[in-house]
Every structure is written in structure tokens, then in C-alpha cells.
Amino acid sequence: MSTHIPAAFETAIADVPRRHVGPGGAIAVLRAGEVLAEHHWGWADAERRIPFTAETMTLVCSITKQFTCALMLDQFPDPTALDGDVRRMMPLLKGVAPDALRLAHNQSGLRDYWATAMLCGAPIEGRFTDADARRLIARTSSLQFTPGTRYSYCNQNFRILSDILQDRAGRDYAELLRERILVPAGMPRARLGADTANVPGGTVGYEGTVESGFRPAVNNVIWTGDAGLACSIEDMIAWERHIDATWHDPASRYRRQAVPVTFSDGNPASYGFGLSRMKILGRDATGHGGGLRGWRSFRFYIPSERVSVACLFNHMEDPRAAALEVLAALFGEAAPPPLTAPAPRWTGRFVEPETGLAARIEPAANGVTLQFERHPDLLPANPDGSFGANIRLSATDGTVRMQRRLDNIDTTLTPVSGTPGLDLAGTYRSAEYGAEITIINAGGALYAACSGELGIGAMQALLPHAADIWLMPCPRALDHSAPGDWTLAFRRDGAGEVVGIEVGCWLARHIDYERVA
């Protein structure tokens, strides 16, 4: 563990608000439990000119997941005791139900309700309550993959766990979390801020950019064990100190959460117990990021260096990038320059056969972009002619291979072509979700909208991908990290008539719709 602090470190800390411009934020760097730097700037509420301080409360969003898993291990050191509770929350589920550990590792096979809520007609900035969440979870009758075989980020995994912990204890989850985890860790202000429309302390989250201007973000979602925690940078400093102080105790909760995790085939998993296992500047680390509309956060701990970084923004800039810039300055290291390489010949449009999702590969400077998940991934060139690392594309004799280590997927993409027809207008219904997709040919352009128990969604212009494959954009949702493009793969009968659709996005795949009108 190096004890030298380069002069560039202080400059990097001071530069964070200038490199990641927004209303306000805070960052802290610790080594061996001692604060090397703590910086806060800007405004907790720009309209009322309330400064962002060490005590300013922000939503840390999905960082909540590790605290839910800590509470689970505190209350149930053997989480298999909760497996029956998981099954009872989904009475319609056919076949094998995921167990509590598969939920904690994001290997459940459940579809994320951030996505399925949109299929059920949820308005973009609509109210989403505990009752809405429980109803969507209870509707589950199928899974998108066999539990334990794949990874897929799924917020409701952690809501299910927090609901079970609350029901088992007969006490409010927020009370349990504060009493058993937050207070013992020395986090003076941290508490559940489940109603994201009312952040503890009155801090405002913002959307927008310097060019477009910043405006208060609208959040009307009740999050619990998946994304509901509110903390100050003072609280996060206490959490990082607690992690460092207990790291060498194998029985400590965080150390138990950081143990190696595998898939059912024995392959190593990069996620478990609400924590990502990652490489940061070549060093093993555990941590997590978070994002809701108007809020971004990121924290990690590197045991070999006993170094932690926590960064909180009340706007939509990237806190992970800020944290890595500061860490690189502390270590006196810089990322290597990208390799210059020509664009491959095998860019184009594809379908991934296991998930049924559309994929687009396009040339980019020093690499390619892959549009497959929620947002385009820029994959830099490698010396061997492949592109990317954790997501890796390569080609042999024109056959394109996609490896996704995090997801435990190694697949060959199927090239697709053709012009989609316009004979798709009609109403299609999902029996599982009681939801409908209405498609209308409006003057030669196809539009689609979702509707269901949560409301009636707005019409979206469909984008052609290939013959009988269209994309339905979903750039905004209930909160940050919208589903992105939905793949709509239309089915025809022997006479060539359209009879149904398989609908999917990265967060919710293999949803069957039958044509009803």
C-alpha cells in the first residue's frame, strides 16, 4: 500500500466540479479509514440557494442494494430460510422459483419492474407505489432464464428481499435498516427515503446539461430495498470506515458480501449480495453505483490499498468517471491511450438468439459501438482484432461472437436484413401482464403505445430493424436507466398473417403477446 500522495491529487479533487458540471455534489477519498480528501460544492437547492455541504442528504439509489443484503445476512445468516417466502410472493409462477441467494446475486431470472411497468402503461413521471410493485411481482408467471444460469440487473430482486425481511420481522424495513445496519456503522443521518418525491433534508435532484439548462427532476416512485436509501457524504465516509475496519474479519457482514460468487455452471460471477466485483486500475475492488432521475452515486473499496472513494451528485453527470479520475491522480497512474484500428467489415444489424434481442454494431473512432442493452457501449479495439473487454466482440469468417462476462453469455449473433412490412396494425395482448400494445399505421409510419393497469402510454414511432423486427424506443421511464429500445419480433402463421409478437429488452425478455384485434 503506497503512502505517497502526488500533488496532482489535490488538483484532481478540485477539478471534479469543473469536469462534471452540475448543481452540486460531494466526493471523499479515504485510506486506511482516514479521510485523504473531502470536497463538496455547489447547491443542494439552486433555486433557494441552499449550499451542498457534508450534511446534505442525497439519494444513493442502487447503492441501497448492498445495505439490504447486509440486513438479510444480519437477520438470516443462512438466507435459504427465505426461499419459501420468495415463492409465496409469486403464486402464479410456473416451474422453479429463484431462491433468496439468486435474488441477492441478480441471477433470479425475474424481469425488472422498471421495464414491465412501462409495458403496463405507467406514465413517464407517474406515481408508482408499494401496492403497484407488489401487484406486478405477483403477476409473474414465467422467468426470462433459468435461475443461476445468467446475470440480469433486476431491481425487484431487492424489493422482494426487503419486503420479506419486513414481513418476517413484523416491523418497518426502514426501522430495521437503521437500527441493525446504519446506526452500528456510525452513519448519523442515513435513512430510507422511499418516497423519491420528498428527499430527506429537501435536497433537489436535477436533470439537464449546461447547454440545455438544469431543471428539477420529477420522481414519484416509492423505492425500498432496491433504491430508497438517502445519505450524506458524511454517512458514506462512515460506511467506508466501517468496511475498512471490519475487512479482515471473515465473519463481518461486508466481508461475507464480498466473497466470490459463481453461476450454477461454476463460472465466476461479477456480482453478488448487492455488490459488483470489479477491477479498478488493475486492482480488485467491490462497490456499486446508483442512479435515479436527478441523482447519481458511486462508491468502491480496494482492499489491497485500503482505499475507498465515494461520490454523490444531485445531477446526471457520471460519478464513476469522477471517482476514477481522482483515484488515478492518487496512484499517479493514467489510462493507456486507445489503440488505433480500422472499423471491421462485420458491422451491421443482428439478433442475439438466446435473448431474442436486436443488436446493432456500428463503426466508431478507435473501436465500435454495440447497441444491445439499455445504451450504446463503446468497445475499444484490441491488438488481436477483437473489440472490448468485459463485453467482447470478435469475428471469424464473418461469424460475429459476443461474449458478456458479467452476464455469463457467450453467443454467436445472427445477421438479419430485409425491410419490415407495414401490415402490423392491431392490438396485441400479454396474458401474463394483462397489458396491451396498440400499433397504428398513421400515414405510412408505424406508431405503438403500451397500456395496462398502470395507465395508457404515449404513442412512440417504431424504428425498422429487419424483416418483421421493429424497435420501440423507451428513452424515458419511471426513473433513471429507462429500458431503452424494445425489440418487437412479429410472428406470422402459415398464411403469412401476423398473429403475435415476442417483446423484450435487456431488463425484461421473452414476453409473449397474442394479436387480439
Which residues belong to the active site? 62, 65
Distance, CA of 96 to CA of 100 (rounded, Å) = 13
Distance, CA of 16 to CA of 86 (rounded, Å) = 43
Beta bridge partners of residue 498, listed in sequence order: 492
Distance, CA of 104 to CA of 44 (rounded, Å) = 33
Distance, CA of 331 to CA of 248 (rounded, Å) = 23
Record the cell numbers describing residue 481, joined without a space: 436507466
Burial of residue 95 (number of CB atoms within 10 Å: 0-12, 13-18, 19+): exposed
- In 64-212, the DSSP E strands lie at 191-192, 206-209
Q: What is the dihedral of CA 250, 255, 256, 261, to 10 degrees?
A: -120
Residue 410's closest CA among 363, 370, 485, 353?
Answer: 353
Residue 425's closest CA among 476, 388, 477, 462?
Answer: 462
Name the packing angle between helices 7-19 and 319-331 (round to 10°).
170
- In one letter, which amino acid is 438? T
> Phi/psi class of residue 427: alpha, beta or left (left: φ > 0; alpha: ψ in -120 to 50)?
beta
- Characterize the bridge pairing of strands 34-45 and 24-31: antiparallel
Q: How many CB atoms lie within 10 A of CB 335?
A: 9
Asked whether 152 and 506 are in contact (CB, 8 A), the reply is: yes
Give SS3 for 499.
strand
Asked whether 467 and 418 are in contact (CB, 8 A), the reply is: yes
Distance, CA of 114 to CA of 156 (rounded, Å) = 8
**74-77 CB contacts, 8 Å cutoff, 24+ apart:** 74/180, 74/181, 74/253, 75/165, 75/168, 75/169, 75/176, 75/180, 76/100
Beta bridge partners of residue 307, listed in sequence order: 31, 302
Give the CA radius of gyration of the chain.
23
Angle at 187 between CA 479 and CA 318, to 5 degrees: 35
Distance, CA of 90 to CA of 421 (rounded, Å) = 38
Asked whether 348 and 359 are in contact (CB, 8 A), the reply is: no
